[in-house]
Amino acid sequence: MTKNAIVLGAGIVGVSTAIHLQRRGRQVTLIDRKDPGNETSFGNAGLIQREGVAPYGFPQQLGLLLRYALNNRIDAHYHLSTLPSQIAFLARYWWNSNARRHAIITRAYAPLIENSIAEHKDLIEASQAEALIRKDGWVKLFRTPAKRDAALTEAALWQSEFGVEYDSLAPADIARMEPDLTGDFAGGIRWRDPWSVLDPHALTWAYRRYFESLGGRFVTGDAASLGPFGSGWKIMTGEGPLEAEDTVIALGPWAAVATRRLGYSFPLGVKRGYHMHYAAEGNAVLNNWMLDAERGYLLAPMNRGIRLTTGAEFATLDAPKTPVQLDRAEAVARTIFPLGRRLDPEPWMGARPCTPDMMPVIGKAPRHQGLWFAFGHAHHGLTLGPVTGRALAELITGETPFIDIAAYSPQRFKP
């Protein structure tokens, strides 16, 4: 008899998990309050970051922390009124970002990143989404020799330890690659291995269509109605009640709310982010995904236009939009590239779900049978969706996961 499974959350992590469960003989229903890919998976930088072996840490240098405290930067912004409620999370995040602890976390995190391209490749080919993908890496630009040299030293270390490939770029290389770019850049790095996505929302939809071609289905529903039922789980959907032996919570930043209703308490924070699309002036062309590293924004030549993405905003999940970082970033970006008019009616905002140890939560719920977790991927949700989906589906169906996921266990937080 075929077992039923529910996957709550139709972002890239949830859709990927649904695919891998369906492939393994489960009858899967994917459930969300919105169509797939319309929340955090919609608004990312569009990078499958094979080079991203080290998760983003909290600054340790006192001088830099004091500059962040001024709250006038592009790469980070905070709501003063919400800091008291976030101080415990931020303190643990800062503690885990210590150089020694961060190095340990990086080694535990690396297997996810190392398999990110291969697992996306599988789903990209299966969903016939090759037209959405570029395979020529991305570029990180530096304005000062000191920052450039520090980044190159770190890149050499990552190449030695984790096998990531890169090129060192001189100013002449940057000018050749991006003839319409101006600005006095001291150099840069081109990461060779990552792939880029011309439309992240369209990629999630391609994966959703592939999932449905396997016999899976998507319905709308409310995670608040999920509860134990007999030996399994029951939830109300737009098509009525649905029962299943197994349920996966892959709700991104909303996972903390859903798991709290079931008696869990995960220290899940959020880093909000914004984007806007722009036309280019005249015949100007942006050829590469480019991060202005010392200012903290990224420009990406996507199908919808040139996407500008910001750094992190520390605020509550439901706080009103405050896109001040976007305005700051746009002002700087216009000094290095001829951006034209805005193409979106208003800035897009999303929220990255973050744990204080910078690693996702992947595995079995400690106190419930048939309940599984897949959330907390921070800046790498797009990157890690398929590798997470495969590893968790293997665990659910009794296989040995193809990578060791013990470091990402929900039990590490004693929730």
pLDDT at 300: 98
Predicted pLDDT at 2: 76
Give the Å distances, CA to CA, from 404 to 160, 169, 363, 415.
Answer: 22, 36, 11, 21
- pLDDT string in tens for the chain (415-residue length): 579 999 999 999 999 999 999 999 999 999 999 887 667 777 889 999 999 999 999 988 888 888 888 899 999 999 999 888 889 999 999 999 999 999 999 999 999 999 999 999 999 999 999 999 999 999 999 999 999 999 999 999 999 999 999 999 999 999 999 999 998 999 999 999 999 999 999 999 999 999 999 999 999 999 999 999 988 999 999 999 999 999 999 999 999 999 999 999 999 999 999 999 999 999 999 999 999 999 999 999 999 999 999 999 999 999 999 999 999 999 999 999 999 999 999 999 999 999 999 999 999 999 999 999 999 999 999 999 999 999 999 999 999 999 999 999 999 998 7
At residue 169, the pLDDT reads 98
pTM of the model: 0.96
Q: What is the enclosing helix (H) or strand (E) of 305?
A: strand 305-309
197 closest CA partner among 12, 48, 360, 24: 48
The CATH architecture one would assign to domain 1-56+97-131+193-266+355-415 is 3-Layer(bba) Sandwich (3.50)
Cβ proximity of 289 and 196 under 8 Å: yes
pLDDT at 178: 98
Taking the domains of the chain in order of start, what are their residue ranges? 1-56+97-131+193-266+355-415
CB 14 within 8 A of CB 7: yes
Q: Note the pLDDT of residue 37.
A: 64
pLDDT at 68: 84
